[in-house]
Amino acid sequence: MTTAPAPLRGIISYPVTPFAADTGDVDLAALRRLVGELADAGSHAIAPLGSAGESAYLTESEWDAVCETTLQTVAGRLPTLVGVSHWSTAETVRRARVAARHGATALMVLPQTYWKLTEAELEQHFATVAAATDLPVMLYNNPGTSGVDLRPDTVVALARKIPNLTMVKESSGDVARFRALRDRSDGTLSVYNGNNPVALEAFRSGAVGWCTAAPCLVPRWCTELYAAATRGDDARADAVLAQLLPLLKFIVGHGLPRAVKAGLEIQGRAAGRPRPPLLPLPDEETRQLRELLERLGGAEALEVGAAGAV
């Protein structure tokens, strides 16, 4: 089996979208800071406007501003993966073209639906969006948020019909799917993990990247997990994951926009409140999050861990 080169690999970091505390408007200055921090902290790619970025709650002009600001801030230093999903095919196409115009490396498309789509409708949607630019496309399977579960056979069938659909972000949590996607596509699909708690299992099952908002809070722990996994240092990878897993489970379980923004506030890097109907993380959960972050201890604890005392 010949594996196609992956357009992206490693830690693909998803910034939240900051909102101003007083007006609730998108805070582009805070976004520039956060994106710059993610780039400087060792991320291998930056992925704005995913679920953590509250893209579903942005107006069209806000979406455009976040896309442009993020890509300008990255300025070609790293690859970029822009989430272009929308309820309608027409708006998804428009977003894809905006992202391409501003220099995106690749596009991510979630089947964001209200009505349950048929296989023919899904195929038409993905094919139309993919044809709007010449950028590689990542199909995003997240049944927990979209209500649509794109199983490996369906994904592979779509990829065979859509030439630039070359990647899939698998977020169901079913680790067996990583290998199934690679095997059934004869290695032509690059597979990425989008389910934080199974990050290490995913790498060991052939995922080439981890799509995650966790680097907003603990970037060096994430890059260290990837480094240990890719060099085959099982003991180190297991030790890092053991420390990181409670935080990963917490931020997923409490909703990424709520939890990550609360964590940024704890760290003195405020990104505002999530946008209604989302509410801020409650006080008791914020206390728990503070304890988790303190337990990890930031960069110092990671350096100690590298010496064998994680």
Residue located via tokens 């350096």 = 303
Alpha helices in 57-88 (DSSP H): 60-74
Query: Hey, what are 55's tokens?
Result: 């893209």
| Euclidean distance between CA atoms 198 and 182, whole angstroms | 17
Sort strands 209-212 and 190-193 into parallel, antiparallel or unpaired.
parallel
Q: Which one is catalytic: 57, 114, 140, 161?
A: 140
**How many residues are present in the chain?**
310
User: What amino acid is encoded at 245 in this protein?
Assistant: L
Of residues 159, 92, 76, the one with CA closest to residue 125: 92
Residue 258, classified by CB atoms within 10 Å of its CB into exposed (0-12), middle (13-18) or buried (19+), is buried
* Residue 140 known to be catalytic: yes
Q: Which one is catalytic: 169, 192, 226, 261?
A: 169
Residue located via tokens 């970091």 = 13
| Euclidean distance between CA atoms 14 and 213, whole angstroms | 5
| Euclidean distance between CA atoms 31 and 69, whole angstroms | 8
* Residue 57 known to be catalytic: no
Neighbours of 208 (CB within 10 A): 22
| Euclidean distance between CA atoms 220 and 243, whole angstroms | 13
226 CB contacts (<8 Å, ≥6 apart)? Answer: 10, 11, 44, 203, 210
- Residues marked active site are found at 140, 169
